[in-house]
Chains A and B, each alone.
Chain A
């Protein structure tokens, strides 16, 4: 079952902050975040596990609310290089990772 991402698109000025949300209707085991720049392959950002363990880049922060079955990705002091489409993927017991529809982020100078 595909997770729901919000917003679908966001435009920022350099230096501004953004939050991308990912919600599921099922109890989650893990949440994965990827970024895809135009014309390129998706690249791993972060994994958040039930219970609090995380794996990912130091400059990216995210939260995982197990009770609400949702995760948020925090992009602070955005840079031009943050532009791209962000995908969350959710994993629940016995099921392979399923990706959401994506959030398009554009950072302008």
Chain B
């Protein structure tokens, strides 16, 4: 079974702190993703990576950065956390897409619920 793990299920931080969210996958997938999930807004893509040290901005990258030094690990960094970054953060991984698309089946981690006070 594909396994995607995230470093914390719940995290509470203070405004202005630097926050690291870690994600590890064990299926040798090329693609890794960070999403943010808020009620009524669905899953919004923050960043994705299609290879080690390669990254692309998603739909809402402002206030976030990412790092992928090893294939299995993808980190999301909040340089200076703000209260509007309080949310559920989901990591996912996948193989490249079928017949030339970007992504095949995405496997999601359990999520990290981040609260910024």
- A-side interface residues toward B, CB under 8 Å? 2, 29-30, 32, 34, 40-44, 47, 49, 51, 53, 55, 87, 89, 91, 95-102
Contacts and interface: CB of A to CB of B under 8 A. Distances in A.
B110 A99 contact: no
A29 B101 contact: yes
B90 A47 contact: no
Contact of A41 (B58, B101, B109): B109
B104 A47 contact: yes
Nearest to A102: B42
Range for the number of chain B residues in contact with chain A: 20 to 34
B105 A55 contact: yes
A89 B35 CA distance: 13
B43 A30 contact: no
B48 interface: yes
A98 B42 CA distance: 10
A101 B98 contact: no
A48 to B, nearest CB: 10
B42 A99 contact: yes
B42 A49 contact: no
A89 B42 CA distance: 10
A49 B98 contact: yes
B98 A42 contact: no
B45 interface: yes
A95 B45 CA distance: 12
A91 B101 contact: yes
Nearest to A55: B98
B1 interface: no
